[in-house]
């Protein structure tokens, strides 16, 4: 009988289907159910709207192939923290990890938990916070167990989410009343695509695609990471792109465009058009079940960043402690506490807004590292090489700069607070270096 691995060592047991489930669950959130109404308000035509979602998928694919090259070269958990640390400088990696720890994962988990509570409250008339707290506690408990159990839980709820979306798509064509919408180019579509509203809508589409890099955060737990990681990133992105395009086409097919224009609750409007009076309840349950898989995937990914930082910096070594199952239990519990505080105070929406630009900058620097390492280390082993290089990283970089411009322009105050958070992280980084020197690390 083989000896158990040390408590400080992560287990490499996560398979490809589980890694794909993590990517899909991170990507498919509420964004796809709420942005179509604002798109059709300014772009009232089927072809340009579907083109938006195709472009979003293409840009996500361009980012995924770049992350796949880097993460296959350096297969360790931590996402941008580890990749930026190794490619550019430890300080950049630390700052990216700091943002992830403080708010990058905790705030979205809190947002999804509160939203789940809101939906279930409307259906069961139980206080929303009861559901919000219960799902955070339950998912946290599951993620303190074995990786095999965590993986099964993630796959089951992700498959259930995808299945419900597929049923919704099929119902739109089977039960819904067909609307006069064309998904092929027609007269006037060119002018709609050329207007600023099309570009602005693309920014919000890209938000809905966020999460395509999720498998990079758990790279250290993947079985055969050099093979599994690229397949998970690209496979998960491809699956979500197909789902998004088909789902938005289904909404347009079965729902009057005027009923959706300017409305954030497109999913409820479409479900009512398809299923009748009980459509809102159907959509609420669908989104609630889907949110569980999203909360789970972020509960998995986020603590791996703080645990990896704990492995590298003595002042945070307590975050790297793993339980008998090989999972970073302290980091998982720490994130859960932050999430529950955010749920109680309901301040996460502002937190999400003020770090969006920093998260975009982090992914931009990560993709630019593909160029940097190709130049600095041309002969380094690359188990996977970014498809379409140098075009794919150039496309992603240009789109990121564009999105970053709009984020700063539209949210200057929030962006300034983001810089303040970054400055605080810089001070902590300097303290951690000084502490390491004093300890002789």
Helix, strand counts (H, E) of the chain? 19, 0
- pLDDT for residue 1: 34
- Which of the four CATH numbers 1.20.1740.10, 3.40.50.2000, 1.10.10.10, 3.40.50.720 does domain 16-432 have? 1.20.1740.10
Confidence check: pLDDT of 105 > 60: yes
Cα separation, 286 vs 289, whole angstroms: 5
Q: Is the pLDDT of residue 4 over 70?
A: no
The answer to whether the beta carbons of residues 210 and 27 sit under 8 Å apart is yes
CA atoms within a 13 Å half-sphere pointing along the CA-CB vector of 135: 27
Average pLDDT, the chain: 89
pLDDT, position 279: 77
Q: What is the pLDDT of residue 262?
A: 86
Residue 273 vs residues 30, 34, 386: alpha-carbon distances, Å: 19, 16, 43
Summarize pLDDT for 156-206 with one digit per residue, the tens.
999 999 998 999 999 999 988 999 998 999 988 999 998 888 888 888 888
Tokens encoding 3: 């000896």
Specify whether the CB–CB gap between 386 and 68 falls below 8 A: yes
Predicted local confidence at residue 357, as pLDDT: 84
* pLDDT value for 7: 44
Helix (H, G, I), strand (E, B) or coil at 144: coil
pLDDT at 248 over 90: yes
398-418 residue pLDDT tens: 999 988 888 888 788 888 888
Domain ranges of the chain: 16-432
Assign 156 to helix, strand or coil.
Answer: helix
Q: So what's the pLDDT on residue 348? A: 60
Summarize the confidence of residues 220-247 as an average pLDDT: 95
How many whole angstroms separate alpha carbon 420 and alpha carbon 429? 14
pLDDT bucket at 5, cuts 50 / 70 / 90? very low
d(CA 241, CA 235): 10
| pLDDT score of 231 more than 50 | yes
Q: Please tell me the predicted confidence (pLDDT) of residue 152.
A: 95
User: Greater confidence, 441 or 71?
Assistant: 71
Chain mean position to CA 3: 36
* Assigned token pair, 400: 């990121």
Across the range 338-354, mean pLDDT stands at 77
Cβ atoms of 248 and 37 within 8 Å: the answer is no
Identify the residue with better confidence: 51 or 280: 51
The CA distance from 133 to 336, in Å, is 10
pLDDT band at 351 (very low <50, low <70, confident <90, very high): low
Beta bridge partners, 222, equal 14
Percentage of the residues of the chain whose pLDDT score is greater than 90 = 61
Residue 222 is given by DSSP the state B
Find where tokens 């609420």 sit.
284
- Dihedral of CA atoms 214, 217, 219, 223 in degrees, nearest 10, equals -60
Is residue 14 classed as helix, strand or coil in its secondary structure? Answer: strand
- When mean pLDDT is compared across 235-239, 387-391, 393-397, 417-421, the lowest value belongs to 417-421
Confidence of residue 208 (pLDDT cuts 50, 70, 90): confident
Q: Rounded distance, CA 387 to CA 69, Å?
A: 9
Using a CB cutoff of 8 Å and minimum separation of 24, what contacts does 180-184 make?
Answer: 181/45, 181/46, 181/252, 181/253, 181/257, 182/45, 182/46, 182/47, 183/46, 183/47, 183/50, 183/249, 183/252, 184/47
- The whole-model pTM stands at 0.90
C-beta neighbour count of 281 within 10 angstroms: 16
Residue 367, pLDDT above cutoff 70? yes
């Amino acid at each position: 009988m083989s000896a158990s691995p040390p408590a400080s060592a992560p287990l490499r047991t996560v398979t490809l289907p589980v890694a794909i489930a993590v990517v899909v669950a991170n990507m498919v959130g509420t964004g796809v159910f709420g942005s179509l109404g604002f798109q059709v308000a300014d772009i009232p035509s089927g072809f340009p709207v579907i083109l938006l979602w195709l472009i979003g998928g293409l840009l996500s694919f361009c980012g995924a192939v770049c992350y796949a090259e880097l993460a296959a070269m350096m297969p360790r958990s931590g996402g941008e923290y580890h990749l930026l640390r190794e490619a550019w400088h430890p300080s950049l990696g630390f700052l990216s990890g700091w943002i992830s720890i403080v708010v990058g994962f905790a705030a979205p988990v809190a947002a999804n938990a509160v939203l789940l509570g809101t939906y279930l409250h409307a259906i069961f008339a139980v206080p929303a916070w009861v559901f919000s707290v219960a799902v955070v506690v339950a998912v946290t408990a599951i993620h303190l167990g074995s990786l095999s159990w965590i993986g099964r839980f993630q796959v089951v709820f992700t498959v259930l989410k995808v299945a419900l979306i597929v049923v919704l798509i099929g119902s739109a064509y089977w039960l819904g009343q067909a609307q006069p919408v064309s998904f092929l180019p027609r007269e006037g579509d060119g002018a709609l695509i050329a207007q600023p509203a099309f570009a602005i809508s693309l920014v919000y589409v890209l938000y809905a695609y966020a999460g395509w890099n999720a498998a990079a955060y758990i790279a250290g737990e993947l079985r055969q990471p050099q093979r599994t990681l690229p397949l998970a990133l690209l496979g998960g992105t491809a699956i979500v792109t197909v789902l998004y395009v088909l789902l938005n086409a289904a909404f347009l097919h079965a729902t009057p465009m005027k009923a959706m224009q300017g409305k954030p609750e497109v999913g409820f409007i479409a479900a009512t058009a398809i299923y009748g009076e009980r459509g809102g309840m159907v959509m609420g349950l669908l989104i609630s079940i889907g949110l569980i898989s999203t909360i789970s995937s972020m509960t998995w990914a986020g603590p791996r960043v703080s645990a990896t930082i704990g492995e590298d910096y003595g002042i945070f070594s307590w975050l790297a402690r793993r339980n008998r199952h090989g999972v970073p239990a302290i980091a998982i519990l720490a994130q859960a506490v932050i999430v529950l505080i955010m749920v109680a105070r309901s301040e996460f929406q502002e937190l999400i807004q003020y770090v969006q630009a920093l998260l975009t900058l982090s992914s931009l620097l990560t993709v630019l590292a593909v160029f940097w390492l190709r130049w600095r280390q041309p002969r380094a082993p690359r188990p996977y090489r970014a498809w379409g290089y140098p075009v794919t990283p150039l496309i992603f970089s240009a789109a990121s700069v564009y999105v970053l411009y709009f984020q700063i322009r539209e949210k200057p105050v929030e962006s300034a607070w983001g810089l303040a958070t970054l400055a605080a992280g810089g001070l902590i980084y300097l303290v951690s270096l000084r502490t390491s020197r004093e300890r002789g690390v």
